[in-house]
Structure 1
Amino acid sequence: MNPDSTHSFAARLETTAQKVAATLEALLSDTLLDGEIARPAHLLAAMQHGVLNGGKRLRPFLVVETSRLLGAPEPAAMRVAAALECIHCYSLIHDDLPSMDDDDLRRGQPTVHVAFDEATAILAGDALLTLAFDILSSPETALPAEARLQLVNQLARAAGIGGMVGGQALDLDAERVTPDEAGIVRLQAMKTGALLRYACAAGALAARADDETLARMTRFGEIVGLAFQLADDLLDVTSDTATLGKAAGKDAGRGKGTLVSLHGVAAVRQRLDGLVEEAAALLEPFGPEAETLRQAARFIARRES
Protein backbone atom coordinates (compact mmCIF):
# COMPACT_ATOMS: atom_id res chain seq x y z
CA MET A 1 0.00 0.00 0.00
CA ASN A 2 1.63 3.28 -1.08
CA PRO A 3 1.52 6.37 1.20
CA ASP A 4 -1.17 8.12 -0.88
CA SER A 5 -3.51 5.12 -0.82
CA THR A 6 -2.86 4.66 2.90
CA HIS A 7 -3.90 8.25 3.54
CA SER A 8 -6.95 7.87 1.31
CA PHE A 9 -8.04 4.71 3.08
CA ALA A 10 -7.52 6.25 6.52
CA ALA A 11 -9.58 9.28 5.49
CA ARG A 12 -12.37 7.07 4.16
CA LEU A 13 -12.38 4.98 7.34
CA GLU A 14 -12.55 8.12 9.49
CA THR A 15 -15.33 9.67 7.39
CA THR A 16 -17.43 6.53 7.69
CA ALA A 17 -16.73 6.34 11.42
CA GLN A 18 -18.04 9.89 11.83
CA LYS A 19 -21.20 9.13 9.84
CA VAL A 20 -21.83 5.97 11.85
CA ALA A 21 -21.24 7.87 15.11
CA ALA A 22 -23.76 10.52 14.04
CA THR A 23 -26.30 7.81 13.22
CA LEU A 24 -25.72 6.13 16.58
CA GLU A 25 -25.95 9.45 18.42
CA ALA A 26 -29.36 10.07 16.85
CA LEU A 27 -30.54 6.56 17.71
CA LEU A 28 -29.31 6.97 21.30
CA SER A 29 -30.93 10.34 21.89
CA ASP A 30 -33.66 10.90 24.46
CA THR A 31 -36.30 11.05 21.71
CA LEU A 32 -38.94 8.39 22.27
CA LEU A 33 -39.80 5.94 19.52
CA ASP A 34 -43.34 4.73 18.85
CA GLY A 35 -44.49 2.53 21.72
CA GLU A 36 -41.80 3.67 24.18
CA ILE A 37 -42.95 5.05 27.51
CA ALA A 38 -39.62 6.52 28.66
CA ARG A 39 -35.86 6.31 28.22
CA PRO A 40 -34.29 6.31 31.71
CA ALA A 41 -31.54 8.94 31.67
CA HIS A 42 -29.00 6.93 33.69
CA LEU A 43 -29.34 3.87 31.47
CA LEU A 44 -29.23 5.96 28.30
CA ALA A 45 -26.04 7.66 29.53
CA ALA A 46 -24.43 4.26 30.12
CA MET A 47 -25.40 3.13 26.62
CA GLN A 48 -23.94 6.31 25.15
CA HIS A 49 -20.74 5.81 27.15
CA GLY A 50 -20.36 2.31 25.74
CA VAL A 51 -21.07 3.31 22.13
CA LEU A 52 -20.07 6.94 21.56
CA ASN A 53 -16.49 6.50 22.76
CA GLY A 54 -14.53 6.53 19.54
CA GLY A 55 -13.15 3.41 17.91
CA LYS A 56 -12.42 2.68 14.27
CA ARG A 57 -15.98 1.43 13.56
CA LEU A 58 -14.42 -1.28 11.42
CA ARG A 59 -17.46 -3.56 11.31
CA PRO A 60 -19.78 -0.73 10.19
CA PHE A 61 -17.15 0.29 7.64
CA LEU A 62 -17.25 -3.17 6.09
CA VAL A 63 -21.05 -3.02 5.93
CA VAL A 64 -20.96 0.36 4.22
CA GLU A 65 -18.21 -0.56 1.75
CA THR A 66 -19.70 -3.90 0.72
CA SER A 67 -23.06 -2.17 0.34
CA ARG A 68 -21.47 0.54 -1.84
CA LEU A 69 -19.70 -2.04 -3.98
CA LEU A 70 -22.87 -4.03 -4.57
CA GLY A 71 -25.27 -1.13 -4.98
CA ALA A 72 -27.29 -1.04 -1.76
CA PRO A 73 -28.64 2.41 -0.79
CA GLU A 74 -26.32 4.26 1.59
CA PRO A 75 -28.97 5.48 4.10
CA ALA A 76 -30.17 1.92 4.66
CA ALA A 77 -26.59 0.61 4.78
CA MET A 78 -25.75 3.17 7.45
CA ARG A 79 -28.61 1.92 9.64
CA VAL A 80 -27.54 -1.69 9.14
CA ALA A 81 -24.02 -0.62 10.10
CA ALA A 82 -25.32 1.11 13.22
CA ALA A 83 -27.31 -1.97 14.24
CA LEU A 84 -24.20 -4.13 13.95
CA GLU A 85 -22.20 -1.63 15.99
CA CYS A 86 -24.85 -1.78 18.73
CA ILE A 87 -24.31 -5.54 18.90
CA HIS A 88 -20.54 -5.14 18.92
CA CYS A 89 -20.59 -2.50 21.66
CA TYR A 90 -23.01 -4.51 23.79
CA SER A 91 -20.60 -7.43 23.53
CA LEU A 92 -17.70 -5.24 24.68
CA ILE A 93 -19.67 -3.91 27.66
CA HIS A 94 -20.49 -7.44 28.79
CA ASP A 95 -17.04 -8.79 27.90
CA ASP A 96 -15.45 -6.19 30.21
CA LEU A 97 -17.57 -7.19 33.23
CA PRO A 98 -15.82 -8.58 36.34
CA SER A 99 -17.44 -11.97 35.77
CA MET A 100 -16.02 -12.10 32.23
CA ASP A 101 -12.68 -10.50 31.26
CA ASP A 102 -12.72 -8.00 34.15
CA ASP A 103 -11.32 -4.99 32.27
CA ASP A 104 -11.23 -1.43 33.56
CA LEU A 105 -10.24 0.22 30.28
CA ARG A 106 -11.84 0.25 26.83
CA ARG A 107 -10.78 2.55 23.96
CA GLY A 108 -8.69 4.45 26.48
CA GLN A 109 -11.66 5.20 28.75
CA PRO A 110 -13.15 3.58 31.86
CA THR A 111 -15.35 0.62 30.98
CA VAL A 112 -19.09 1.01 31.51
CA HIS A 113 -19.23 -0.95 34.77
CA VAL A 114 -16.43 1.24 36.13
CA ALA A 115 -17.93 4.53 34.97
CA PHE A 116 -21.39 3.53 36.19
CA ASP A 117 -21.91 0.21 38.00
CA GLU A 118 -22.10 -3.47 37.14
CA ALA A 119 -25.89 -3.75 37.06
CA THR A 120 -26.24 -0.70 34.84
CA ALA A 121 -23.58 -2.09 32.50
CA ILE A 122 -25.51 -5.35 32.14
CA LEU A 123 -28.72 -3.45 31.37
CA ALA A 124 -26.93 -1.14 28.92
CA GLY A 125 -25.70 -4.18 27.01
CA ASP A 126 -29.18 -5.73 27.06
CA ALA A 127 -30.70 -2.53 25.72
CA LEU A 128 -28.16 -2.22 22.90
CA LEU A 129 -28.75 -5.84 21.89
CA THR A 130 -32.47 -5.28 21.50
CA LEU A 131 -32.03 -1.87 19.89
CA ALA A 132 -30.05 -3.51 17.07
CA PHE A 133 -33.04 -5.59 16.01
CA ASP A 134 -35.36 -2.60 16.39
CA ILE A 135 -33.16 -0.71 13.92
CA LEU A 136 -32.98 -3.51 11.37
CA SER A 137 -36.67 -4.39 11.43
CA SER A 138 -37.90 -0.79 11.30
CA PRO A 139 -39.40 0.53 8.03
CA GLU A 140 -36.99 3.45 8.46
CA THR A 141 -34.32 1.01 7.29
CA ALA A 142 -35.54 1.51 3.75
CA LEU A 143 -35.09 -1.95 2.30
CA PRO A 144 -37.65 -4.53 1.15
CA ALA A 145 -39.20 -6.45 4.03
CA GLU A 146 -37.59 -9.69 2.85
CA ALA A 147 -34.13 -8.11 2.95
CA ARG A 148 -34.75 -6.74 6.46
CA LEU A 149 -35.93 -10.16 7.61
CA GLN A 150 -32.76 -11.80 6.25
CA LEU A 151 -30.59 -9.18 7.94
CA VAL A 152 -32.35 -9.73 11.26
CA ASN A 153 -32.14 -13.51 10.97
CA GLN A 154 -28.47 -13.59 10.02
CA LEU A 155 -27.48 -11.09 12.71
CA ALA A 156 -29.31 -13.14 15.34
CA ARG A 157 -27.30 -16.19 14.27
CA ALA A 158 -24.01 -14.31 14.10
CA ALA A 159 -24.54 -12.84 17.57
CA GLY A 160 -26.06 -15.86 19.31
CA ILE A 161 -25.22 -19.32 20.56
CA GLY A 162 -23.75 -20.45 17.23
CA GLY A 163 -21.79 -17.21 16.86
CA MET A 164 -20.39 -14.54 19.15
CA VAL A 165 -22.06 -15.56 22.42
CA GLY A 166 -21.20 -19.22 21.86
CA GLY A 167 -17.63 -18.18 21.15
CA GLN A 168 -17.54 -16.19 24.37
CA ALA A 169 -18.65 -19.31 26.26
CA LEU A 170 -15.86 -21.30 24.62
CA ASP A 171 -13.43 -18.53 25.54
CA LEU A 172 -14.38 -18.83 29.21
CA ASP A 173 -13.95 -22.60 29.00
CA ALA A 174 -10.49 -22.04 27.51
CA GLU A 175 -9.37 -20.42 30.76
CA ARG A 176 -9.86 -23.79 32.47
CA VAL A 177 -8.83 -26.22 29.72
CA THR A 178 -6.61 -25.00 26.90
CA PRO A 179 -8.15 -26.05 23.57
CA ASP A 180 -6.20 -27.66 20.75
CA GLU A 181 -5.57 -25.79 17.51
CA ALA A 182 -8.91 -26.77 15.99
CA GLY A 183 -10.65 -25.60 19.16
CA ILE A 184 -8.84 -22.26 19.07
CA VAL A 185 -9.82 -21.71 15.44
CA ARG A 186 -13.46 -22.59 16.18
CA LEU A 187 -13.56 -20.31 19.24
CA GLN A 188 -12.12 -17.37 17.33
CA ALA A 189 -14.33 -17.90 14.29
CA MET A 190 -17.34 -17.62 16.60
CA LYS A 191 -16.31 -15.02 19.17
CA THR A 192 -14.64 -12.55 16.80
CA GLY A 193 -15.18 -13.79 13.27
CA ALA A 194 -18.96 -14.16 13.24
CA LEU A 195 -19.74 -10.43 13.37
CA LEU A 196 -17.05 -9.57 10.82
CA ARG A 197 -18.43 -12.27 8.55
CA TYR A 198 -21.89 -10.76 8.97
CA ALA A 199 -20.56 -7.27 8.22
CA CYS A 200 -19.49 -8.36 4.75
CA ALA A 201 -22.52 -10.56 4.08
CA ALA A 202 -24.86 -7.74 5.16
CA GLY A 203 -23.88 -5.58 2.22
CA ALA A 204 -24.81 -8.39 -0.16
CA LEU A 205 -28.11 -8.97 1.66
CA ALA A 206 -28.94 -5.26 1.60
CA ALA A 207 -28.14 -5.14 -2.14
CA ARG A 208 -30.19 -8.30 -2.75
CA ALA A 209 -27.17 -9.81 -4.50
CA ASP A 210 -27.25 -13.26 -6.08
CA ASP A 211 -26.22 -16.37 -4.16
CA GLU A 212 -22.75 -16.51 -5.71
CA THR A 213 -21.98 -12.94 -4.71
CA LEU A 214 -23.36 -13.51 -1.21
CA ALA A 215 -21.15 -16.59 -0.82
CA ARG A 216 -18.11 -14.67 -2.08
CA MET A 217 -18.62 -11.77 0.31
CA THR A 218 -19.36 -14.13 3.19
CA ARG A 219 -16.07 -15.92 2.55
CA PHE A 220 -14.30 -12.56 2.38
CA GLY A 221 -15.79 -11.78 5.79
CA GLU A 222 -14.55 -15.10 7.18
CA ILE A 223 -11.03 -14.31 6.00
CA VAL A 224 -10.91 -10.80 7.44
CA GLY A 225 -12.43 -12.15 10.66
CA LEU A 226 -9.58 -14.63 11.03
CA ALA A 227 -7.06 -11.93 10.12
CA PHE A 228 -8.55 -9.59 12.73
CA GLN A 229 -8.21 -12.18 15.49
CA LEU A 230 -4.68 -13.19 14.49
CA ALA A 231 -3.66 -9.53 14.46
CA ASP A 232 -5.32 -9.08 17.85
CA ASP A 233 -3.36 -12.02 19.25
CA LEU A 234 -0.14 -10.53 17.89
CA LEU A 235 -0.89 -7.15 19.43
CA ASP A 236 -1.58 -8.78 22.80
CA VAL A 237 2.04 -9.96 22.92
CA THR A 238 3.81 -7.19 20.97
CA SER A 239 2.01 -3.97 21.94
CA ASP A 240 1.28 -2.10 25.17
CA THR A 241 -1.76 -0.85 27.03
CA ALA A 242 -1.30 2.80 26.02
CA THR A 243 -1.24 1.91 22.34
CA LEU A 244 -4.12 -0.56 22.48
CA GLY A 245 -6.42 1.49 24.70
CA LYS A 246 -7.09 -1.69 26.69
CA ALA A 247 -5.01 -4.05 28.80
CA ALA A 248 -2.20 -5.79 26.92
CA GLY A 249 -0.79 -9.24 27.71
CA LYS A 250 -4.06 -10.56 29.15
CA ASP A 251 -4.18 -13.75 27.09
CA ALA A 252 -0.82 -14.94 28.38
CA GLY A 253 -1.70 -13.83 31.90
CA ARG A 254 -4.85 -15.96 31.84
CA GLY A 255 -3.09 -18.88 30.17
CA LYS A 256 -5.30 -18.70 27.07
CA GLY A 257 -4.17 -20.65 24.04
CA THR A 258 -3.80 -18.68 20.79
CA LEU A 259 -2.27 -19.46 17.44
CA VAL A 260 0.56 -17.10 18.40
CA SER A 261 1.31 -19.17 21.50
CA LEU A 262 1.18 -22.36 19.42
CA HIS A 263 3.17 -21.28 16.36
CA GLY A 264 5.00 -18.07 17.24
CA VAL A 265 4.92 -14.51 15.97
CA ALA A 266 6.73 -15.10 12.68
CA ALA A 267 4.44 -17.94 11.59
CA VAL A 268 1.32 -15.94 12.38
CA ARG A 269 2.59 -12.94 10.44
CA GLN A 270 3.21 -15.22 7.47
CA ARG A 271 -0.31 -16.58 7.81
CA LEU A 272 -1.68 -13.04 7.82
CA ASP A 273 0.11 -12.28 4.56
CA GLY A 274 -1.54 -15.35 3.03
CA LEU A 275 -4.98 -14.24 4.22
CA VAL A 276 -4.51 -10.81 2.63
CA GLU A 277 -3.69 -12.49 -0.68
CA GLU A 278 -6.72 -14.77 -0.41
CA ALA A 279 -8.99 -11.82 0.36
CA ALA A 280 -7.68 -9.92 -2.67
CA ALA A 281 -8.27 -12.93 -4.92
CA LEU A 282 -11.91 -13.13 -3.83
CA LEU A 283 -12.42 -9.51 -4.87
CA GLU A 284 -10.92 -9.88 -8.36
CA PRO A 285 -14.31 -10.13 -10.14
CA PHE A 286 -15.22 -6.65 -8.86
CA GLY A 287 -12.15 -4.96 -10.37
CA PRO A 288 -10.92 -1.53 -9.22
CA GLU A 289 -14.23 -0.78 -7.48
CA ALA A 290 -13.24 -3.21 -4.71
CA GLU A 291 -9.92 -1.51 -3.93
CA THR A 292 -11.17 -0.07 -0.64
CA LEU A 293 -12.09 -3.55 0.57
CA ARG A 294 -8.65 -4.82 -0.49
CA GLN A 295 -7.12 -2.05 1.56
CA ALA A 296 -9.41 -2.95 4.45
CA ALA A 297 -8.07 -6.52 4.45
CA ARG A 298 -4.49 -5.22 4.53
CA PHE A 299 -5.36 -2.73 7.28
CA ILE A 300 -6.97 -5.42 9.42
CA ALA A 301 -3.99 -7.76 9.06
CA ARG A 302 -1.37 -5.10 9.76
CA ARG A 303 -3.10 -2.83 12.26
CA GLU A 304 -1.21 -1.54 15.26
CA SER A 305 -4.08 -1.04 17.70
Structure 2
Amino acid sequence: MALALFQSEQQEYDQELILFRLNEQQYALNVLKVKEIIRPVEVHASPNRHKMVEGMIRVRDTAIPLLNTYELLQLDAEENKYFIIVEFAERQFALRVGDVSSIKRIHTKQITPPDDVSKGKEKFLSGIVTISAEEMAFILDLEKAVHYIHPLHFSIDFKENYRVERETMSLLLLEDSQTMRLLLTEALADAGYKDVLVFNNGKDANDYTANMEDEDVFDAVITDIDLPHRNGFEFTKRLRQLPLFQDVPVFSFSSLHPSVVERKGKEAGVTSHVVKPDIEKLIAVLDQHLLK
Protein backbone atom coordinates (compact mmCIF):
# COMPACT_ATOMS: atom_id res chain seq x y z
CA MET A 1 0.00 0.00 0.00
CA ALA A 2 1.46 3.37 -0.94
CA LEU A 3 2.28 5.88 1.75
CA ALA A 4 0.16 8.45 -0.05
CA LEU A 5 -2.89 6.57 1.17
CA PHE A 6 -1.84 7.25 4.74
CA GLN A 7 -0.35 10.72 4.86
CA SER A 8 -2.29 13.72 6.02
CA GLU A 9 -1.21 17.21 6.92
CA GLN A 10 0.29 17.33 10.39
CA GLN A 11 -1.21 19.56 12.99
CA GLU A 12 1.24 22.14 14.21
CA TYR A 13 4.12 20.40 16.01
CA ASP A 14 2.33 17.07 16.20
CA GLN A 15 3.95 13.89 14.95
CA GLU A 16 2.50 11.02 12.92
CA LEU A 17 3.77 7.50 13.58
CA ILE A 18 3.28 4.37 11.51
CA LEU A 19 2.60 1.47 13.86
CA PHE A 20 3.63 -2.08 12.94
CA ARG A 21 4.07 -5.39 14.73
CA LEU A 22 6.94 -7.78 15.24
CA ASN A 23 5.94 -10.93 17.16
CA GLU A 24 2.84 -9.19 18.55
CA GLN A 25 4.90 -6.33 19.97
CA GLN A 26 4.08 -2.89 18.61
CA TYR A 27 6.79 -0.69 17.09
CA ALA A 28 6.70 2.72 15.43
CA LEU A 29 8.44 4.94 12.88
CA ASN A 30 8.00 8.60 12.08
CA VAL A 31 5.80 8.73 8.97
CA LEU A 32 8.20 11.27 7.43
CA LYS A 33 10.89 8.56 7.30
CA VAL A 34 8.64 6.09 5.47
CA LYS A 35 8.60 6.21 1.68
CA GLU A 36 6.09 3.42 1.09
CA ILE A 37 4.80 0.06 2.32
CA ILE A 38 4.77 -2.93 -0.04
CA ARG A 39 3.98 -6.63 0.02
CA PRO A 40 7.08 -8.88 0.29
CA VAL A 41 9.01 -9.34 -2.96
CA GLU A 42 11.89 -11.61 -3.96
CA VAL A 43 15.08 -11.10 -1.97
CA HIS A 44 18.38 -11.44 -3.84
CA ALA A 45 21.41 -12.55 -1.84
CA SER A 46 24.35 -10.13 -2.01
CA PRO A 47 27.99 -11.17 -1.44
CA ASN A 48 29.89 -10.14 1.70
CA ARG A 49 26.80 -8.58 3.22
CA HIS A 50 26.44 -7.74 6.90
CA LYS A 51 24.67 -10.39 8.96
CA MET A 52 21.82 -7.92 9.58
CA VAL A 53 21.24 -7.49 5.83
CA GLU A 54 19.19 -10.27 4.24
CA GLY A 55 19.95 -9.16 0.71
CA MET A 56 18.65 -6.74 -1.91
CA ILE A 57 15.14 -6.16 -3.25
CA ARG A 58 14.11 -4.25 -6.36
CA VAL A 59 11.44 -1.58 -6.16
CA ARG A 60 10.74 0.19 -9.46
CA ASP A 61 14.25 -0.48 -10.81
CA THR A 62 15.92 0.63 -7.57
CA ALA A 63 18.00 -1.86 -5.58
CA ILE A 64 17.33 -1.49 -1.85
CA PRO A 65 19.00 -3.42 1.01
CA LEU A 66 16.60 -5.39 3.21
CA LEU A 67 17.46 -5.24 6.92
CA ASN A 68 16.68 -8.27 9.04
CA THR A 69 14.51 -6.48 11.60
CA TYR A 70 14.01 -9.60 13.70
CA GLU A 71 17.74 -10.35 13.91
CA LEU A 72 18.41 -6.72 14.76
CA LEU A 73 16.00 -6.78 17.70
CA GLN A 74 16.77 -10.40 18.61
CA LEU A 75 13.25 -11.63 17.97
CA ASP A 76 12.01 -14.95 16.63
CA ALA A 77 11.21 -14.89 12.92
CA GLU A 78 7.58 -15.02 11.81
CA GLU A 79 5.50 -14.81 8.66
CA ASN A 80 5.78 -11.33 7.19
CA LYS A 81 3.04 -9.35 5.53
CA TYR A 82 4.87 -6.17 4.53
CA PHE A 83 8.17 -4.52 3.72
CA ILE A 84 8.48 -0.93 4.96
CA ILE A 85 10.67 1.20 2.69
CA VAL A 86 12.33 3.93 4.74
CA GLU A 87 14.16 6.95 3.37
CA PHE A 88 16.38 9.10 5.54
CA ALA A 89 19.78 10.77 5.24
CA GLU A 90 19.21 10.50 1.46
CA ARG A 91 19.38 6.68 1.58
CA GLN A 92 16.74 3.95 1.27
CA PHE A 93 16.36 0.71 3.24
CA ALA A 94 13.65 -1.91 3.60
CA LEU A 95 12.43 -3.40 6.88
CA ARG A 96 10.72 -6.78 7.10
CA VAL A 97 7.70 -6.54 9.45
CA GLY A 98 4.61 -8.48 10.42
CA ASP A 99 1.44 -6.43 10.18
CA VAL A 100 1.10 -2.67 9.69
CA SER A 101 -1.75 -1.61 11.92
CA SER A 102 -2.35 2.13 11.61
CA ILE A 103 -1.04 5.66 11.68
CA LYS A 104 -1.37 7.51 14.98
CA ARG A 105 -1.18 11.26 15.38
CA ILE A 106 0.54 12.02 18.66
CA HIS A 107 2.31 14.87 20.37
CA THR A 108 6.00 14.52 21.08
CA LYS A 109 5.32 14.97 24.80
CA GLN A 110 3.92 11.42 24.66
CA ILE A 111 7.40 10.12 23.75
CA THR A 112 9.94 9.33 26.45
CA PRO A 113 13.52 8.07 26.05
CA PRO A 114 13.88 4.34 26.81
CA ASP A 115 15.88 3.20 29.80
CA ASP A 116 18.68 0.63 29.56
CA VAL A 117 16.34 -2.23 30.46
CA SER A 118 13.74 -1.52 27.77
CA LYS A 119 16.31 -0.81 25.05
CA GLY A 120 17.59 -4.38 24.97
CA LYS A 121 21.05 -5.74 24.23
CA GLU A 122 21.90 -3.66 21.17
CA LYS A 123 19.66 -0.73 22.18
CA PHE A 124 18.13 -0.02 18.76
CA LEU A 125 15.28 1.98 20.27
CA SER A 126 15.12 5.77 20.45
CA GLY A 127 11.87 6.23 22.38
CA ILE A 128 8.72 4.79 23.88
CA VAL A 129 5.42 6.38 22.90
CA THR A 130 2.38 6.09 25.16
CA ILE A 131 -0.60 6.11 22.81
CA SER A 132 -3.27 5.42 25.44
CA ALA A 133 -3.60 3.91 28.90
CA GLU A 134 -3.60 0.45 27.30
CA GLU A 135 -1.34 0.99 24.29
CA MET A 136 2.32 1.84 23.76
CA ALA A 137 4.93 1.33 21.05
CA PHE A 138 8.72 1.26 20.76
CA ILE A 139 10.29 3.68 18.27
CA LEU A 140 13.16 2.23 16.24
CA ASP A 141 16.48 4.09 16.25
CA LEU A 142 17.14 3.81 12.52
CA GLU A 143 20.27 5.94 12.71
CA LYS A 144 21.93 3.57 15.15
CA ALA A 145 20.81 0.53 13.17
CA VAL A 146 22.26 1.88 9.93
CA HIS A 147 25.47 3.01 11.66
CA TYR A 148 25.79 -0.48 13.17
CA ILE A 149 25.56 -2.05 9.70
CA HIS A 150 27.44 0.65 7.77
CA PRO A 151 29.61 2.60 10.23
CA LEU A 152 29.89 6.26 9.34
CA HIS A 153 33.27 7.21 7.88
CA PHE A 154 34.33 10.80 7.33
CA SER A 155 36.24 12.04 4.32
CA ILE A 156 38.42 14.25 6.54
CA ASP A 157 40.21 14.01 9.87
CA PHE A 158 38.58 16.68 12.03
CA LYS A 159 41.72 16.95 14.19
CA GLU A 160 43.74 17.96 11.14
CA ASN A 161 41.29 20.82 10.53
CA TYR A 162 41.38 22.04 14.13
CA ARG A 163 40.88 25.80 14.49
CA VAL A 164 41.71 27.38 17.83
CA GLU A 165 39.19 30.20 17.42
CA ARG A 166 36.39 27.64 17.63
CA GLU A 167 37.29 27.11 21.29
CA THR A 168 35.74 30.48 22.17
CA MET A 169 32.31 29.41 20.94
CA SER A 170 29.65 27.68 23.05
CA LEU A 171 27.05 25.40 21.42
CA LEU A 172 23.73 23.91 22.50
CA LEU A 173 23.07 20.48 20.94
CA LEU A 174 19.77 18.57 20.90
CA GLU A 175 20.05 14.95 19.75
CA ASP A 176 18.14 11.93 21.05
CA SER A 177 20.20 9.21 19.34
CA GLN A 178 23.00 8.11 21.65
CA THR A 179 25.10 7.03 18.68
CA MET A 180 24.73 10.34 16.86
CA ARG A 181 25.39 12.32 20.06
CA LEU A 182 28.71 10.54 20.47
CA LEU A 183 29.71 11.02 16.82
CA LEU A 184 28.74 14.70 16.88
CA THR A 185 30.38 15.70 20.12
CA GLU A 186 33.61 13.88 19.27
CA ALA A 187 33.81 15.42 15.79
CA LEU A 188 32.97 18.91 17.07
CA ALA A 189 35.59 18.63 19.83
CA ASP A 190 38.24 17.36 17.40
CA ALA A 191 37.53 20.37 15.19
CA GLY A 192 37.78 22.80 18.11
CA TYR A 193 34.14 23.21 19.19
CA LYS A 194 34.68 21.81 22.68
CA ASP A 195 32.11 23.80 24.66
CA VAL A 196 28.93 21.84 23.85
CA LEU A 197 25.95 21.37 26.17
CA VAL A 198 23.79 18.39 25.14
CA PHE A 199 20.09 17.60 25.67
CA ASN A 200 18.17 14.57 24.38
CA ASN A 201 14.76 16.30 24.17
CA GLY A 202 13.31 19.71 23.40
CA LYS A 203 11.42 20.30 26.65
CA ASP A 204 14.46 20.09 28.93
CA ALA A 205 16.41 22.32 26.56
CA ASN A 206 13.60 24.91 26.51
CA ASP A 207 13.37 24.84 30.32
CA TYR A 208 17.13 25.38 30.58
CA THR A 209 17.33 28.26 28.09
CA ALA A 210 14.31 30.03 29.64
CA ASN A 211 16.36 30.63 32.81
CA MET A 212 19.62 31.73 31.20
CA GLU A 213 21.39 35.00 31.90
CA ASP A 214 22.68 37.26 29.15
CA GLU A 215 26.34 36.37 29.69
CA ASP A 216 25.60 32.64 29.41
CA VAL A 217 23.83 32.69 26.04
CA PHE A 218 25.05 30.20 23.45
CA ASP A 219 26.73 31.28 20.23
CA ALA A 220 24.74 28.74 18.19
CA VAL A 221 22.17 25.96 18.55
CA ILE A 222 22.11 22.60 16.72
CA THR A 223 18.88 20.62 16.92
CA ASP A 224 17.58 17.35 15.60
CA ILE A 225 13.92 17.47 14.57
CA ASP A 226 12.60 14.03 15.55
CA LEU A 227 12.91 14.45 19.35
CA PRO A 228 10.91 13.19 22.35
CA HIS A 229 8.88 15.44 24.66
CA ARG A 230 9.13 18.41 22.26
CA ASN A 231 10.34 18.21 18.68
CA GLY A 232 12.95 20.44 17.07
CA PHE A 233 10.41 22.70 15.38
CA GLU A 234 8.53 23.43 18.58
CA PHE A 235 11.76 23.80 20.52
CA THR A 236 12.99 26.40 18.02
CA LYS A 237 9.72 28.30 17.99
CA ARG A 238 9.75 28.58 21.80
CA LEU A 239 13.44 29.51 21.78
CA ARG A 240 12.74 32.39 19.38
CA GLN A 241 10.25 33.82 21.89
CA LEU A 242 13.13 34.47 24.31
CA PRO A 243 14.82 37.90 23.89
CA LEU A 244 18.29 36.37 24.37
CA PHE A 245 17.84 34.04 21.37
CA GLN A 246 16.40 36.43 18.80
CA ASP A 247 19.68 36.59 16.87
CA VAL A 248 21.35 33.30 17.84
CA PRO A 249 21.68 31.02 14.76
CA VAL A 250 19.75 27.76 15.01
CA PHE A 251 20.78 24.91 12.72
CA SER A 252 18.58 21.87 12.17
CA PHE A 253 20.52 18.63 11.72
CA SER A 254 18.10 15.90 10.70
CA SER A 255 17.82 12.81 8.51
CA LEU A 256 14.25 13.73 7.54
CA HIS A 257 13.66 14.79 3.95
CA PRO A 258 15.12 18.31 3.42
CA SER A 259 11.97 19.67 1.74
CA VAL A 260 9.93 19.00 4.90
CA VAL A 261 12.56 20.22 7.34
CA GLU A 262 13.38 23.39 5.42
CA ARG A 263 9.75 24.45 5.03
CA LYS A 264 8.70 23.82 8.61
CA GLY A 265 12.06 24.97 9.93
CA LYS A 266 11.74 28.37 8.28
CA GLU A 267 8.31 28.82 9.87
CA ALA A 268 9.74 27.94 13.31
CA GLY A 269 12.82 30.16 13.02
CA VAL A 270 15.59 27.78 11.92
CA THR A 271 18.54 29.64 10.36
CA SER A 272 19.81 26.84 8.13
CA HIS A 273 19.41 23.07 7.61
CA VAL A 274 22.09 20.41 7.21
CA VAL A 275 21.21 16.84 6.24
CA LYS A 276 22.34 14.30 8.83
CA PRO A 277 24.93 12.74 9.06
CA ASP A 278 27.04 15.27 7.11
CA ILE A 279 29.02 16.55 10.11
CA GLU A 280 31.68 18.00 7.83
CA LYS A 281 29.11 20.32 6.26
CA LEU A 282 27.63 21.15 9.67
CA ILE A 283 31.01 22.38 10.88
CA ALA A 284 31.44 24.41 7.70
CA VAL A 285 28.03 26.05 8.28
CA LEU A 286 28.94 26.79 11.91
CA ASP A 287 32.19 28.41 10.76
CA GLN A 288 30.35 30.48 8.18
CA HIS A 289 28.08 32.02 10.81
CA LEU A 290 30.38 32.16 13.83
CA LEU A 291 33.91 32.80 12.59
CA LYS A 292 33.70 36.16 10.90
TM-score, length of structure 2 as denominator length: 0.29
Q: Which has the higher helix share?
A: 1
Q: Which has the higher strand share?
A: 2
Kindly indicate whether structure 1 or structure 2 has the higher relative contact order, using CA contacts under 8 Å at least 6 residues apart.
1
Greater gyration radius: 2
TM-score, length of structure 1 as denominator length: 0.28
